[in-house]
A = this chain, B = another copy of it.
């Protein structure tokens, strides 16, 4: 059957994620006065999906790169989503957050990424690490970077499901 392969891959990813990771997420979000989310490309859609869920729970939530955003403060939380952990747009936001005293919780597939070193908490989504596509993530479609296969979207799909489950615990 057509969908079995991808469902099996997703199941394998979650076999390596535990209740503890949900606990970290719920704790950090509950502690935060306000939540910012950030992601690039399709991870950006996962970030927006999270923001939509949190706003309905009446959590004050902002999406980095939208038209306007308030100044960050200490006591805020940034949830950063990046498969490679090297996407420049996301790294820039994380660096600025550190400077502003904001706490950072990162979801990534890459245990050895730059983003991990500057995050306070990390949740590893053990999917295949997406290939890093250069410095200008948000401009790369102007150049026409070739597309990945469905199993290569494992990080985004798994991160989305993880966050759905984690938010429904709140």
Contact = CB atoms under 8 A, between A and B. Distances in A.
Number of copies of chain A assembled together: 4
A41 B68 CA distance: 9
Nearest to A78: B142
Interface string A68-104: 1111100000000000000000001100110110000
Interface string A46-70: 0011011101111011111111111
Contacts of A132: none
Contacts of A146: 56
> Interface of chain A, helix or strand or loop or mixed?
helix
Contacts of A131: none
Given A144-B71, A168-B150, A11 B2 contact: no
Interface string A129-170: 000000010110111111101110100110011101101100
A170 B97 CA distance: 28
B45 A58 contact: no
A67 B51 contact: yes
A10 B64 CA distance: 30
A41 B52 contact: yes
A142 B7 contact: no
A142 B68 contact: no
Contact of A49 (B42, B65, B142): B42
